[in-house]
Structure 1
Amino acid sequence: MKEDDKMPQPAKSAKLRLLQKNPNKKNTKILKQQAEAEERIRMKSDEINAPSK
């Protein structure tokens, strides 16, 4: 592996990128829109029931 080769970075949510002060310098307006969209599609954990035996 060469020095300039970099390993791929794992995907992070838009909300996490905003909390980390936007290290990749992406447009904060777009990141806020993405964070809102991610929140809308997130599955509610209180609606999940444990499997019955």
Structure 2
Amino acid sequence: MTREKSIKVRLTEEEFEQINLYAKTKDFSVSEVIRDYIKRLPKMDSLRSIY
């Protein structure tokens, strides 16, 4: 799967340090951590039934 989309997010220094430290302890990149969290979001079908 090709990744074509990108997101720019502004973080506080504390937020950045938190995600960066977490990524380092898991031996992941920050991008991998974020993608993992996105995978845990509810699937689109279940969200459509709410709205």
Q: Quickly name the TM-score band, shorter chain normalised.
A: 0.3 to 0.5
Larger Rg: 1
Higher relative contact order (CA closer than 8 Å, sequence separation 6+): 1
More helix by share: 2
TM-score (norm 1): 0.36
